[in-house]
Structure 1
């Protein structure tokens, strides 16, 4: 168990963490939420031992007397453009961790293959894109034997949708095998399925701490959003947006339905394209205004096609359907 007791962190006049206290059972997976500057990354670095608190303490109560007996993988938010290849870097990291060259090679091949990075293993990283650097960043955190704790600070940053899904599946597998997860992610919908606890920070304080129900389904392990929580979010915001889109596959539909900002997801509608007179399936999504940008990005990254975006009042969001003249509008915009 990890225990955090009345932890404060100050940088000169900036008070980043203000008396944080929490207990984390062994093997639990946690998603930290909050705006920029809320203290999420600072808290993660403190848990990893990279920062010391100004006051308070972080205690591990897992029976291990030495820190080097506890395996922690850490994925920082930014990875530098080093003047070396992934092969050179990962070999050096593995040797520091006292792995044999044979074990390093095997694990490296497995993880680079997962993220389709084998063709770049001998290229210099100072020419890599942000997404390619992030993949190397993820590989180095999981290079050693499966970590007891894996800490990820914005792990989806720069990754394409395929790599995000592979990371999502890998995290779920690691957690099922006993690895504890602590994650920070602004676009958290893909990581929700790997989290069983969500902690919200605001200005250095914990303002929310909830357990998440997880169940098995034909689509794999997925997070079940409670209706009560969505209704609470709806009450907090006075306006919604209705997004109508098409070309929404089953996987994208599942992600949209699980997104915290989606208040209602209507059944597929059939319309007729103006030029081809072929039937097209439409889907209508009612979204909290604050979440509309993220939902639009999710649709486009998932190969969906956005037909229209319309502002509606929260009071009428759940009681109204598609406007009578909306079908004409969709046909024109399509």
Structure 2
């Protein structure tokens, strides 16, 4: 359960170990220079809850997550966390001069995972996210989506339990990896993991979130329960994963983004084929046949098509008044 509290007490920032709740923030504020990024945040999150943070750019979401991870210190207020494993995947993984396997092995050793279990965990998670072919490639040469998989695996190495902090975990992932990660987070929550994530992907919010908190101007301006989120559910959508094989087809397909029914499009170069570009489309179901036909006529190929039964209208949440 998530509870927002009003408290007038202020003082120097402190970190306390707590036993009754996964996370507790009391009057937490943060400045960057003269700009107040977080403004007296008060919230309790129980152990085993999944809370999703939403909000427009600059609303303070990533700063709040970094404070929970211990990467940043608040300028005032108190942060309380249970004495448990803390796992964190930031929004960007630095392109360090290591192979994926070297990086993951190093991060696992830092977490204190014994070598036999570490090898097993890396293998399990790389299989789950289809990372095997990139394990011996250096991080600077990986695509955005592949780099994100490495970033997620390093956070997931310790296993379920404790506190898991994720900043846009589905960003850049192909549809199959998004599905695999969402299913894993469902399992982890059932196993008692406290999950706090920034996410604007309806799939994860619908299936895993217990509460959604809207940040605006550094404040929590609104919250929703799982039941209340049903009011923001719209018509079904179709996810299309495809590939363009030539520069000419890539150019032609890019022009389709403005067609009626296209809700979002992401693309990234295929790490194994320099000329190829992978596409992920989210389209309204009524326009899916038309978009599929247009992609093929533009010289693209279709990898997979998946239909959601419903779609949470995230843009409606972001526009909500406090």
TM-score by length of 2: 0.67
Which residue of 2 is the match for residue 130 of structure 1? Answer: 144
Which residue of 2 is the match for residue 57 of structure 1? Answer: 78
The counterpart of 1:299, out of the listed 251, 263, 283, is 283
Whether the 8 Å contact between 2:51 and 2:195 is mirrored in structure 1 is yes
Whether the 8 Å contact between 1:27 and 1:179 is mirrored in structure 2 is yes
Which residue of 2 is the match for residue 35 of structure 1? Answer: 56
**Superposed displacement of residue 299, structure 1:** 2.4
Which residue of 2 is the match for residue 320 of structure 1? Answer: none
Which residue of 2 is the match for residue 88 of structure 1? Answer: 102
Q: Deviations over 1:282-327 (max 9, x none)?
A: xxxxxxx9x97349942289x93346xxxxxxxxxxxxxxxxxxxx
Tell me, yes or no, if structure 1 residue 22 matches structure 2 residue 43: yes
Counterparts of 1:101-140 in structure 2, within 5 Å, are 101-140=115-154
Q: In angstroms, what is the RMSD of aligned CA positions?
A: 2.7
Rounded Cα–Cα distance in structure 1 between residues aligned with 2:236 and 2:140: 44
Whether the 8 Å contact between 1:72 and 1:147 is mirrored in structure 2 is no
**Superposed displacement of residue 13, structure 1:** 1.6
**Superposed displacement of residue 40, structure 1:** 0.6
Rounded Cα–Cα distance in structure 1 between residues aligned with 2:78 and 2:35: 19
**Superposed displacement of residue 12, structure 1:** 0.9
Whether the 8 Å contact between 2:262 and 2:284 is mirrored in structure 1 is no
Which residue of 1 is the match for residue 220 of structure 2? Answer: 206
Rounded Cα–Cα distance in structure 1 between residues aligned with 2:139 and 2:289: 35
**Superposed displacement of residue 188, structure 1:** 3.6
Whether the 8 Å contact between 1:197 and 1:211 is mirrored in structure 2 is yes
Label 1:292 to 1:117 Cα distance change in 2 as closer, same or farther (>3 A).
closer
Rounded Cα–Cα distance in structure 2 between residues aligned with 1:306 and 1:207: 40
Tell me, yes or no, if structure 1 residue 157 matches structure 2 residue 171: yes
Whether the 8 Å contact between 1:134 and 1:159 is mirrored in structure 2 is yes
> Which one scores higher on RCO, CA 8 angstroms, separation ≥ 6?
2
**Superposed displacement of residue 46, structure 1:** 0.8
Which residue of 1 is the match for residue 209 of structure 2? Answer: 195
State the SS of the aligned residue for 1:21.
strand
Rounded Cα–Cα distance in structure 1 between residues aligned with 2:218 and 2:153: 30
Whether the 8 Å contact between 1:32 and 1:199 is mirrored in structure 2 is yes
Which residue of 1 is the match for residue 314 of structure 2? Answer: none
In the alignment, structure 2 segments of 5+ residues that lack a partner are 1-20, 238-259, 266-279, 292-322
Counterparts of 1:211-250 in structure 2, within 5 Å, are 211-213=225-227, 225-226=229-230, 229-230=231-232
Label 1:122 to 1:12 Cα distance change in 2 as closer, same or farther (>3 A).
same
Of residues 79-88 and 151-160 in structure 1, the stretch that sits farther from structure 2 once superposed is: 79-88
Tell me, yes or no, if structure 1 residue 78 matches structure 2 residue 99: no
The counterpart of 1:177, out of the listed 162, 168, 191, is 191
Rounded Cα–Cα distance in structure 1 between residues aligned with 2:221 and 2:65: 17
Tell me, yes or no, if structure 1 residue 3 matches structure 2 residue 24: yes
Rounded Cα–Cα distance in structure 2 between residues aligned with 1:300 and 1:103: 44
Tell me, yes or no, if structure 1 residue 48 matches structure 2 residue 32: no
State the SS of the aligned residue for 1:305.
helix
